[in-house]
Amino acid sequence: MRIDTHVNLKPYHTFGIDTHASQFTRIQHRAELNLVLQFYTQYQPLLILGGGSNVLFTKPFEGLIIKNELKGIRIKKRLKNETLVEAASGESWHAFVCWALKHHLYGLENLALIPGSVGASPMQNIGAYGREIKDVFETLEALNLKTGVIEHFNAADCKFGYRESIFKHECQGQYFILSVTFRLHHQPRVNTSYGAINAVLQSKGILNPSPQDVANAVIQIRSDKLPDPAKYGNAGSFFKNPEIDASLFLKLQQQFPDIVHYLQASGHYKLAAGWLIEQCGLKGYMHDGAAVHAAQALVLINASAATGKAVLELSKHVQQCVFERFGITLQTEVNLL
């Protein structure tokens, strides 16, 4: 593992911010884990970077970045109705979804085209269109950077929540996720609960969709709504959809009858952050090269050589506008560094 110095990070994260890391290296084989542990004691701060699809560098990273390039997918165990599949953490998430569909293993199709790596999926409990990682998660293995021990986590250990896990809070920066095992189904369990998926399927005359049909619909929706990072740097949804109690929701609904909402099993209401931002007139709003995406207000983009600081300032402006209009504080989904 060669350590390079003053490395430009623009190619390594989807926001495409022109900044640098003081030290940078790659891990491609498990045989190099001892070096990772050695680097952990020598270099601080240290960041394990996957696909870079959920991070915003607001300033140069004055430490060591280890780019995770661990690869490999294997069938771990075949059961009567399910198969346990283990994927290395450096695998592309979307490529893994495509692999599963090709091998007639189902449960990931609603999560197609989400950028990033397999290793980041449990960290964020990524989700879209009615599915979350926790729905198909079995276990993960992770290297404890402090003890050097490889530990195993089940779903309860991960403390999954809405775009949350233990790895974003009390264990943040303490583990290097090595692989994730998923429990995938042999028989299709098609989930078209989101209206947008049904609309695409109906437009194509598909009445009995297969998992591949659902994946194709999700890919079309995401491609239509979300900007291509190769053209406009972004990290997908920048903010979480806020969840509020029933009393506050009823007050807001009286004032804003068209407010987009989803009733939760808890009795709370989840609101569409993109709708809240749009009602503030912020679609297309620009600040020093950063912008609120004109087609999807939930996405902030690097429209024209923006700095990470400019994107951060824009996000704070969005939060302030939403709070002033609705009394709701939006929480960021993206990791700010």
Query: What number of other Cβ atoms are within 10 A of residue 98's Cβ?
Result: 18
- 89 catalytic residue (yes or no): no
Q: Which of 89, 117, 237, 315 is catalytic?
A: 237
Residues contacting 37, CB < 8 A, separation 6+: 143, 145, 148
Q: Choose among 174, 210, 178, 205: nearest CA to 192.
A: 210
- 131 catalytic residue (yes or no): no
The token duo for 328 is: 């709701």
Q: Which of 131, 163, 183, 222 is catalytic?
A: 163
Helix (H, G, I), strand (E, B) or coil at 99: helix
Contact 37, 63 (CB under 8 A): no
Residue 283 corresponds to which amino acid? Answer: K
Helix (H, G, I), strand (E, B) or coil at 70: coil
Residues contacting 183, CB < 8 A, separation 6+: 82, 83, 84, 107, 136, 137, 138
- 278 catalytic residue (yes or no): no
Q: Which of 82, 86, 132, 333 is catalytic?
A: 333
Active site residues per annotation: 163, 237, 333
